[in-house]
Structure 1
Amino acid sequence: MTTPRYTEIADLTDDTPVLRDIRHHIHRHPELAYEEVGTAALVADKLAEWGWQVTRGVGETGVVGTLKVGEGTRSIGLRADMDALPIVEQTGKPYASATHGKMHACGHDGHTTMLLGAARQLARTKRFSGTVHLYFQPAEEHGVPSGAQKMIADGLFQRFPCDAVFGVHNHPGMAPGVFLFRRGAFMAAGDKVTITIEGVGGHAARPHLTVDPVVVASSVVMALQTIVARNVDPSQPAVVTVGSLHAGTANNVIANSATMELSVRSFSEEVRALLKRRITELVQAQAASYGATAIVKYEEGYPVVVNSDAETEFAAQVARELVGDDKVLGHADILMGSEDFAFMLQERPGSFLRIGNGAGEDGCMVHNPHYDFNDKNLPIGAAYWTRLVERYLAQ
């Protein structure tokens, strides 16, 4: 019996210039959540050109590519996100965003291109037996309802079923080509809280005749920091961040109201419920103590990313075969960021993994105007996805 031939990174070397051009085109033409018309068209056209069956408009602007080879009955799903962020790019790159106020600051242009590279290689070699579905998803950055939720609601796993589903995100702080895996809970649940503090406005010189919402909001900000420090079990990870606070329009006017937006992260349903209860109680009590009122709108967002054991170990083993043991972290640290791939993992077993995007000066954090996806990952990611399919659907 001959040993199966699985894809190596060197097999994608000649494709790198093509993949780089695709990535740079997507980067130069960023589109926000549910606006990914041009990106979706590019993806669909490339898939069709390479012989994939293409379904457009899944979950509004999502695209699914399907390729069946041989008589194998197993199926696998691979997902990439396509949307950009409302950020003014400051990279100075020749392929920088051509649309002011929009940029690919999270690497979704790279995620999409790596999966397209795998699509090209899989169609070219067809070294598997079974069915592959490629899920090009919109609106990962949108919050609920996210692109994953809309694709699932549009019958994603009924129309394009898979036995397991996999996704990837780049990881600044680690060298390109380093893979990170973790069984079980990997990324946090993320909730959004909007707080409106209603006071009594008036003249800045007569504060005794007002109820100053700025003072109330300031007190609330400081008090919120005690929840994680004094209410949550220290062994349980949690984050409460006040990301936005707005009040007033002039220095000599005490405003009527102030608004705040919070990002709340947790890893267990118990802690998630505790945070919701304590934030609501604390905000309303703080406001009342100043004679103000507070309206708390609590929106539960993405759930915890929970990787299934078998699929994660399989995915890690494929990475070890491709890049070597020294470039694979099999038990990476938990991450407080959130990811709507969690919704897909609630529907199917699978794994969400990370790939290093650069360390030191080359490791700019995502959601930053200076961020850029590392093109060194294009052939590595494309080879990884291809090999994962070949190994999962081995003939």
Structure 2
Amino acid sequence: MPIVNRLAELHDEITAWRRDFHENPEILYETHRTAARVAELLESFGVDDITTGIGQTGVVGVIKGKNGGAGKTIGLRADMDALPLTETSGKPWASKHPGKMHACGHDGHTAMLLGTAKYLAETRNFDGTVVLIFQPAEEGGAGAKAMINDGLMTRWNIDEVYGLHNMPGLPVGEFAIRPGPLMAATDEFQITIKGLGGHAARPYETIDPIVVGAQLVTALQSIVSRNTNALEAAVISVTVFEAGSAFNIVPETAKLRGTVRTLSNDVREMIETRMKAMVESVCAAHGATADILYDKGYPVTNNHADQTDFAVQVAREVTGSADKVNSEVNPTMGGEDFSFMLEERPGAFIFAGNGDTAKVHNPAYDFNDELIPYGCSYFIKLVETAMPTSG
């Protein structure tokens, strides 16, 4: 089964939903309009049960198969939130709200899961239960964790969970996935260096936090080059260096901020430990002190082996070709809070080609509506293959 034929009929309708979401982006947990529209559409499809307000503004819909829902339960997830960015795409459906835009394609993810829901509610050509998960706050707000904390997995007895993300640069009609680590853990650090301020003409009377900070920017890179196994992946990026207010004053403090990206928990723990020790020792060598805040963000997105193999099988059926599914794609150092769901239940996260478009998080980005039939077909085929009807 390549593309589901019914989706050709639904394509324009799903595209209209997507463009409406794109015109009206909402960030983090403020997805009130989006969630209301999702719930309204699910009700119109005849979805069996709809619950709002999960993880603040998340929506959960339930579709029972031909056997009344007995047996396996599979969760399908889409994220709904946008980014704090002003759009420059020039599309007729560009954001109507300056400073907010769907620059990561969550509008498309939401629309594709809605299209999947409409088809599955019409046909119910499966035994078991499908749980439709519409999640807020993926972009830095850990909305997946919030929904889990509200009982997502236990309340709906989810056995397996699957998600999808568009990928610019990968041709439409192709997929990419891998077992194990697919996306990185995303941690954040903030280092406040405390020195002794004074006149810039007499630096020997000061403890210069800028000098200490400059040495730390360089020294922190040695954690990757000299403490991390060369076969492991890690990134330490200092992205903010704040200090000083005048040309003739050595300031009292300096602040460094940045991110750490890793693909294994062991490397993640090692970097945190080494970073704290290095900050302490470099500061001590200059007579300075420092406070370091290390905030663990999203964990590694680890695809489960069996579910990844199954996702590859489904994607190959949808594309009609094994060559159009890369089952060993290189991991990316970007993060994804679907990782929290994969810590709770077996499942897999897959990339779907968005074609030759601007990259995600770019103000010129737009979701490619030609992807819609492939994304919907992937979800539909996944459900019907994993939970076939008994007769």
Read off the aligned partner of 2:329 and give its amino acid letter: A
Matched with 1:330 is 327
1:43 matched to 2:38: yes
Aligned equivalent of 1:158? 154
Quick one: which of 268, 283, 293 aligns to 2:264? 268
Q: 1:203 deviation in Å?
A: 4.2
CA distance in 2, matches of 1:218, 1:237: 24
Once residues 203 and 278 of structure 1 are traced to their aligned partners in structure 2, the CA distance between those partners, rounded to angstroms, is 34
For residue 102 of structure 1, what is the aligned residue in structure 2? 100
1:7·1:387 contact (CA, 8 Å) conserved in 2? no
> Equivalent residue for 1:3?
none
Unaligned runs of 5+ in 1: 1-5
When the two chains are superposed, the root-mean-square deviation of aligned CA atoms in Å is 1.7
In the superposition, relative to structure 1, how do residues 101 and 200 fare at CA in structure 2: closer, same or farther (>3 Å)? farther
2:289 & 2:27 partners in 1: Cα distance?
36
Residue 224 of structure 1 aligns with which residue?
A: 220
Tell me the distance in 1 between the aligned counterparts of 2:276 and 2:57: 36
Instruction: Indicate the residue corresponding to 2:109 in structure 1.
Output: 111
TM-score relative to the length of structure 2: 0.93
1:54 and 2:50 are equivalent in the alignment: yes
1:392 paired with 2:354, answer: no
Cα gap change, 1:90/1:197 in structure 2, threshold over 3 Å: closer, same or farther?
A: farther
Q: Is 2:352 the partner of 1:358?
A: no
Residue of structure 1 equivalent to 2:342: 345
User: Would the aligned equivalents of 1:11 and 1:383 in 2 still touch at CA under 8 Å?
Assistant: no
Check whether the contact 2:238–2:257 (CA below 8 A) recurs between aligned residues: yes
- CA drift of 1:245 comes to 2.2
- TM-fit CA distance, 1:223: 1.2
Q: How many angstroms apart in 2 are the aligned matches of 1:357 and 1:388?
A: 20
What is the CA distance between 1:51 and its match in structure 2?
A: 0.8
**2:143 is the counterpart of 1:147:** yes
Q: Do the aligned partners of residues 286 and 390 (structure 1) sit closer, same or farther apart at CA in structure 2, a change above 3 Å counting?
A: same
The one-letter code sitting in structure 2 at the alignment partner of 1:269 is N
Partner amino acid, structure 2, of 1:348: R
Query: Residue 274 of structure 2 corresponds to which residue in structure 1?
Result: 278
In the alignment, structure 1 residue 256 sits paired with structure 2 residue 237 = no
Counterpart residue identity of residue 373, structure 1 = F
Quick one: distance in 1 between partners of 2:209 and 2:77?
45
C-alpha separation between the residues in 1 aligned to 2:210 and 2:83?
30
Given that residues 181 and 264 in structure 2 are in contact (C-alpha distance below 8 angstroms), is that contact kept between their aligned partners in structure 1?
Answer: no
Match of 2:86 in 1: 88
Shift of 1:375: 1.5
**Matched pairs, number:** 385
| Conserved 8 A contact 2:354-2:368 | yes
After TM superposition, the score normalised by the length of structure 1 is 0.92
1:376 aligned counterpart, secondary structure: helix
Give 1:215 shift.
Answer: 2.5
Distance 1:284 1:370 in 2: 43
Q: Structure 2 regions of 5+ residues with no counterpart? A: none
Residues 345-384 of structure 1 show CA distances to partners (whole Å, capped at 9, x for unaligned) of 111111111112224xx2x222222222222111211121
Supply the distance in 2 between the matched residues of 1:259 and 1:31 (Cα, whole angstroms): 31
Cα deviations by residue, 1:105-154 (Å, 9 ceiling, x for unpaired): 211111111111111111122211221100111111125xx111111111
- What SS class does the counterpart of residue 384 from structure 1 fall into? helix
Number of the residue aligned with 1:18: 13
Deviation at 1:14, TM superposition (A): 2.2
Per the alignment, in what secondary structure is the counterpart of residue 61 of structure 2?
Answer: strand
CA distance in 2, matches of 1:69, 1:263: 44
Aligned: 1:376 with 2:370: yes
